[in-house]
Amino acid sequence: MDINNHEPVQLLVDGFGRQITYLRISLTDRCNLRCVYCMPEDGVQLLSHSEMLSYEEILKFVNVLADYGVNKIRITGGEPLVRKGVVNFIEKLNNIAGIKDIAMTTNGILLDKYAHDLYNAGLKRINISLDSLDNKIFGKLTRGGNLDSVLKGIDTAKAIGFEPIKINTVLMRGNNDKELMNFINFAIKNELNLRFIEYMPIGQNINQTITSKELIDKIKMEYKDFKPKKIDACSVSKEYYFSSQKNNKAVIGFISPLSEHFCNDCNRLRITASGKLRLCLFYDEEYDIKEILNSGASDEDIYKYLLNILQKKHQAHLFNNRNNKNETNNLQNSNIATDGNIYMNKIGG
Ligand code: SAM
Ligand code: SF4
């Protein structure tokens, strides 16, 4: 059987006509780093083993969703590579009919160790988070991380043939924003696909957010040949390249969830490590899926349960008003989920 040639039984469509085809799975809330923008210094109250969705539960959930049109999965966390059995899990995920695309977001610390096995298990696309190219700053931002391990992980992934490898970078004002040009030169030298993600003040304050536009303007001042690529309607990232022959392999992407949200085309759902469905990164509402998965409900009943929840998906988060001249002030006036207890490691980024 060709597992990619799999026709959905029915589709998951929300109240605004958007079809869900993409699931982001937070595999664990645990992490071997404590990035300043993601987790508090002394960690968070971690889930016990029994509170977490088991691999069997996740696989069952994906199996159901694949029958209803979901074809793309991203594994994230916490740090997905700290969860035992992750390679085996990826292999099983890769065998689910209808799942065409599996990607992972990792901090890269354990990538050198696992890259071969992950690749052989069927993972081909990987995003590696890297917020500083300076040992000291990296250590500070990650509260103890080792930059060399991540760089080694990137090299190993390249050598093995992961394609594409994307580097995710969050620049924060007054923190690591001075490294903008270092990152650009790093991407050019290593022919990388580097994406700047706007800092999202989940549970924190907005003052350090730098909009994509501000970064693009700065890069253009240094590189006159910095040009937008053709817009890919499916991509959440706006991509640029260097049009001169010498520098033309690096791709620089900008993900602007705050200043230019992509809610109109939102095709995604998220599940947290504890089995809570989140309809949007920016709203705190969560819906339990663990109970229904273990209730003996039929796939169709699970579908109906999800379809019902899906009708509550918001049209957009209320962060955006591009007509306002002062973008950062505008962001400050908006209403993001910031109850002080939600951290990105729980939701999965
Ligand atoms: N541990 C993995 C990693 O760091 O790549 C996966 C989980 S992490 C929560 C997923 C992504 O979310 C990372 O690229 C990280 O940089 C990003 N992230 C975390 N907190 C963020 C924030 N407040 N604003 C923007 N991006 C954030
Ligand atoms: Fe861990 Fe990733 Fe959060 Fe950093 S961003 S603390 S690596 S989950």
> pLDDT per residue over 165-224, tens digit each?
999 999 999 999 999 999 999 999 999 999 999 998 765 556 788 999 999 999 999 999
Q: Which ligand is nearest to the CA of 202?
A: 1
Tell me the pLDDT band of 232, cut-offs 50, 70 and 90: low
- What pLDDT, on a 0 to 100 scale, did the predictor assign at position 336? 44
Ligand 2 within 6 A of CB of 79: yes
* Block residue for tokens 């994906």: 62
Is the confidence at residue 1, as pLDDT, over 60?
Answer: no
- What pLDDT, on a 0 to 100 scale, did the predictor assign at position 254? 96
- What pLDDT, on a 0 to 100 scale, did the predictor assign at position 329? 44
Amino acid at 218: K
Provide CB contacts within 8 A for 184, sequence distance 6+.
194, 219, 222, 223, 250, 252
- What pLDDT, on a 0 to 100 scale, did the predictor assign at position 44? 77
Which of helix, strand or coil describes residue 25? strand
Is the confidence at residue 275, as pLDDT, over 80?
Answer: yes
Ligand 2 within 6 A of CB of 26: no
Mean pLDDT, residues 54-78 taken together: 97
**What is the span of the domain harbouring residue 216?**
3-347
Tell me the pLDDT band of 320, cut-offs 50, 70 and 90: very low
Q: 46 vs 299, which has greater pLDDT?
A: 299
Percentage of the chain beyond pLDDT 70 is: 86
Alpha-carbon distance of 193 to 51, in angstroms, equals: 36
Q: Which ligand is nearest to the CA of 127?
A: 1
As for how many domains the chain has, the answer is: 1
Q: What's 143's DSSP letter?
A: T
Alpha-carbon distance of 196 to 203, in angstroms, equals: 20
For residue 40, say if its preceding peptide bond is cis, omega within 30 degrees of 0: no
Is the confidence at residue 43, as pLDDT, over 50?
Answer: yes
Rg, C-alpha atoms of the chain: 20
Q: Nearest residue CA, atom 8 of ligand 2? A: 78
Tell me the pLDDT band of 144, cut-offs 50, 70 and 90: very high
CA 345 – ligand 2 centroid, Å:
6
Is the confidence at residue 324, as pLDDT, over 50?
Answer: no
- What pLDDT, on a 0 to 100 scale, did the predictor assign at position 8? 83
- What pLDDT, on a 0 to 100 scale, did the predictor assign at position 114? 98
- Minimal CA–CA distance to 101: which of 167, 154, 164? 164
Alpha-carbon distance of 31 to 340, in angstroms, equals: 19
Indicate which CATH number applies to the domain containing 53: 3.20.20.70
The gap from C-alpha 184 to its chain's centroid, in whole angstroms, comes to 21
Q: Nearest residue CA, atom 19 of ligand 1? A: 38
Q: Nearest residue CA, atom 4 of ligand 2? A: 35
Alpha-carbon distance of 309 to 8, in angstroms, equals: 19
Contact call for residues 66 and 302 (beta carbons, < 8 A): no
Provide CB contacts within 8 A for 151, sequence distance 6+.
none
CA distances from residue 296 to 237, 299, 303, 305 in whole angstroms, order as listed:
40, 9, 13, 13
Instruction: Give the strands of the sheet with 268-271, arranged side by side.
Output: 226-228, 237-242, 251-255, 193-197, 165-169, 125-129, 101-106, 72-76, 22-26, 268-271, 276-278, 286-288
326: its two tokens: 């002062």
- What pLDDT, on a 0 to 100 scale, did the predictor assign at position 348? 61
Question: Ranked by mean pLDDT, which of 8-12, 306-310, 329-333 comes out on top?
Answer: 306-310
Contact call for residues 114 and 79 (beta carbons, < 8 A): no
Averaged confidence pLDDT in the chain: 88
Mean pLDDT, residues 52-80 taken together: 97
- Least confident residue range of 68-72, 146-150, 254-258: 254-258
Is the confidence at residue 3, as pLDDT, over 60?
Answer: no
Alpha-carbon distance of 191 to 247, in angstroms, equals: 8
CA 29 – ligand 1 centroid, Å:
12
Alpha-carbon distance of 270 to 346, in angstroms, equals: 11
CA 347 – ligand 2 centroid, Å:
11
